[in-house]
A = this chain, B = another copy of it.
Amino acid sequence: MIYTTLTPKNEERSDQPMLRSERRDLSLSRLIRAGTEILCEQSYASMGVEQVLQRAGLSKGSFYHFFPSKEQFGLQVINHYADYFNRKLDRILSQTENSPLERLRLYIQEGIVGVERFEFRRGCLIGNLSQELGATQPLFRTALEAAFRSWQNKVADCLQQAIDAGELNASAEVQAFAEFFWTGWEGALIRAKVLGSTAPIKRFTDQFFKVLPRSL
C-alpha cells in the first residue's frame, strides 16, 4: 500500500513546552516517519542517516541515541509501516454499514488515491525492500514476511465475512485468495509506476473481484 502521511515541517511545530519524555517520543516518531517516507521512494542502500535527520528536522546526535544501527532503524520502519496499514485495514474493513466486499473495495480505493497523491513516486515499502533486501538480509526477511502475513490475514478475515454474509461461495479458499490479492497488488503497483497511471491497479483489482467465486 501507499503511506500517505507527511513528516511535519519545522515551521509547523508547536511552541508549547514539552516534557523531556514527550520530546523524546516526538523525535523518535519523526525519525521513523521520515525513514518510512524515504524508503517508500528510494532504496535502503541509498538512504543516508543525514538525510533522515534532515527530513525529520533533528540534529545529528539524535539518530544513534535511538538506534544502534541503520539496520535496526530499518526494522523499526518496517514494523511502523506494517502497523500503519494494519490499523488502516482494521478501520476500513470493520465499517459494518458496508458489506465485506464493499469494504475491501473501499480499502483499495484509498490505496489508489494514495498512489495518485504522490504521483507514483511512492511505492509499497514492503514490496520495495523485499525486492532490494529479501534475498540477502535474513533479519529484514522475517520482518517483511510478517508484514505481508498480517495484511493477508486481515483480507482473509474479510473474505470469510463475505462468505458468512452470502456474498461469496462457501467453497472460496479465503487464505489462498487473500494471498492472491496481495501478490497481485504488489505487481500492480510496479506496473502503475511504469505507466504513470493507476489503470493497472484498477484492472488488477477488477479482475480479482471478477474471479472471486460468488455465492450461487
Contact = CB atoms under 8 A, between A and B. Distances in A.
A75 interface: no
A7 B128 CA distance: 28
A160 to B, nearest CB: 17
Interface string A124-158: 00011011101110000100110010000000000
Contacts of A176: 203, 207
A187 interface: yes
Interface in A188-206: 188, 190-191, 193-196, 200, 203-204
A24 interface: no
Contacts of A134: 120, 190, 193-194, 196
Oligomeric state, in copies: 2
A46 interface: yes
A67 interface: no
Contacts of A185: 187
B141 A196 contact: yes
B193 A180 contact: no
A179 interface: yes
B131 A127 contact: yes
Interface residues of A, number: 41
A216 interface: no
Interface in A167-190: 176-177, 179-180, 182-188, 190
Contacts of A145: 194-195
Closest 7 pairs between A and B when the two form their complex, measured CB to CB = A187-B187, A134-B193, A186-B187, A211-B211, A183-B187, A134-B194, A184-B184
10 contacts: A119-B135, A123-B131, A127-B187, A130-B194, A131-B131, A134-B196, A179-B203, A182-B187, A186-B187, A186-B191
Interface of A: 43, 45-46, 119-121, 123, 127-128, 130-132, 134-136, 141, 144-145, 148, 176-177, 179-180, 182-188, 190-191, 193-196, 200, 203-204, 207, 211
